[in-house]
């Protein structure tokens, strides 16, 4: 293959590869390392500049000293640990077996198109998880049951709102309101302390993954994207509190 064409083809591939990885919540160092590993397999060198919403990358062919630069946006994709794992494995596969760029592209597409876990199964698991979370915060079995039900309804609503293309922050406020409203409604006639159950009913939306990944990025000197991830997580927590406070105002007359 023409060396110049190969450089262009590889640059386009690395741009897509890095964009998908970053959009899926992978920390920067892994993205840079994997991209470098793939480029080394084709005797190319890569330099990357990662920003919160885009990547600027330059590939250099040391033989011809030709340079190719591309700017690619990072699309917000759902976090996927499977994609993280499989795409890392793909970079090692290329490194060890030297496949053609076309084969690499084909495998990449197949991995990206792989179906995610069944939506109803995820809803069930999240509901059980949040009920267990209620127990970890010293909630009783009645509270756990209420949290399970309100999480189930809330998570389905979140999925539906996302499908309809509603803004993520607005969706979090709405879901937080509905989940806490349901939990408050179910507990308002009982004598038990509802505080733990109501507060836990919205915690399934706490952005734990961006919080941890953001700190990893900061530790590994990718300060900008680290702070961007933490700020997004903070905004989501803020939205949670807003939704919850609306239902508390309805049920208790005041936030106290």
Partner 1 sequence: MIEETLIRAVCAAFAALGFGAVSNPSRKSLPGIMILAAVGYAVRYVLMQLAGWDIATSTLAAALLMGFGSLWLGSVVHCPMTTLYIPALLPMVPGMYAYKAVFSIILFMQNLGTQAEAFLYLNNFFLNVIITVTVILCMTVGASLPMFILSRRATSLTRYRNRKKDRTDIGA
Q: Which residues contribute to the site for partner 1 (CB under 8 A)?
A: 25-27, 30, 33, 78-86, 88-89, 91-93, 96, 116-117, 121-122, 125-130, 132-133, 135-137, 199-200, 202-204, 206, 208-209, 211-213, 215-216, 219, 237-238, 240-242, 244-245, 254-256
What would the 3-class secondary structure string for 127-159 be? Answer: HHHHHHHHHHCCCCHHHHHHHHHHHHHHHHHHH
Q: How far is the CB of 21 from partner 1 (least distance, A)?
A: 11
Q: What is the DSSP letter of 204?
A: G
Q: How far is the CB of 26 from partner 1 (least distance, A)?
A: 8
Q: How far is the CB of 79 from partner 1 (least distance, A)?
A: 4
The continuous run of DSSP H or E covering 225 comes out as helix 223-252
**Which of 8/142 has CB closer to partner 1?**
142
**Which of 68/173 has CB closer to partner 1?**
173
Q: How far is the CB of 237 from partner 1 (least distance, A)?
A: 5
Tokens 């909630």 — which residue? 139
**Rounded to an integer, what distance in angstroms lies between the CA atom of residue 110 and that of residue 133?**
36
The two three-digit tokens of residue 153, written as one number: 């309804």
**Which of 12/77 has CB closer to partner 1?**
77
Contacts of 1 (CB under 8 A, 6+ apart): none
Q: Supply φ then ψ for residue 48, to 5 degrees.
A: -130, 145
140, 192 contact by CB (below 8 A)? yes
Q: What is the DSSP letter of 192?
A: S
Q: What is the DSSP letter of 201?
A: T
Please tell me the total number of residues recorded for the chain in this structure: 256
Q: How far is the CB of 106 from partner 1 (least distance, A)?
A: 18
**Which of 71/122 has CB closer to partner 1?**
122
The two three-digit tokens of residue 212, written as one number: 């941890």
**Rounded to an integer, what distance in angstroms lies between the CA atom of residue 183 and that of residue 5?**
60
**Which of 13/148 has CB closer to partner 1?**
148
Q: How far is the CB of 96 from partner 1 (least distance, A)?
A: 7
**Which of 68/239 has CB closer to partner 1?**
239
Indicate the SS3 state at residue 159. helix
């Amino acid at each position: 293959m023409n060396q110049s064409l190969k450089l262009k083809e590889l640059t386009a591939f690395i741009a897509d590869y890095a964009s998908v990885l970053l959009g899926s919540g992978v920390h920067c160092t892994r993205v840079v390392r994997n991209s470098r590993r793939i480029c080394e397999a084709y005797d190319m060198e890569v330099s990357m500049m990662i920003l919160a919403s885009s990547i600027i990358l330059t590939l250099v062919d040391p033989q011809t000293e030709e340079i190719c630069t591309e700017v690619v946006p990072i699309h917000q994709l759902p976090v996927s640990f499977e994609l993280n794992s499989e795409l890392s494995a793909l970079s090692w596969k290329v490194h060890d077996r030297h496949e053609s760029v076309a084969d690499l592209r084909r495998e990449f597409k197949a991995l990206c198109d792989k179906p995610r876990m069944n939506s109803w199964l995820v809803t069930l698991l999240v509901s059980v998880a949040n009920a267990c979370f209620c127990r970890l915060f010293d909630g009783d079995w009645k509270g756990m049951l209420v949290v399970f039900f309100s999480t189930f309804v809330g998570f389905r609503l979140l999925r539906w709102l996302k499908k309809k293309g509603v803004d993520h922050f607005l969706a979090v406020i709405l879901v937080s309101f509905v989940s806490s409203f349901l939990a408050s409604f179910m507990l308002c006639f009982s004598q038990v302390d509802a505080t733990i159950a109501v507060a836990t009913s919205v915690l399934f939306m706490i952005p734990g993954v961006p919080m941890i990944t953001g700190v990893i990025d900061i530790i590994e000197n990718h300060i900008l994207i680290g702070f961007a991830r933490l700020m997004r997580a903070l905004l989501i927590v803020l939205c949670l509190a807003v939704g919850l406070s609306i239902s508390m105002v309805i049920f208790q007359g005041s936030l106290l």
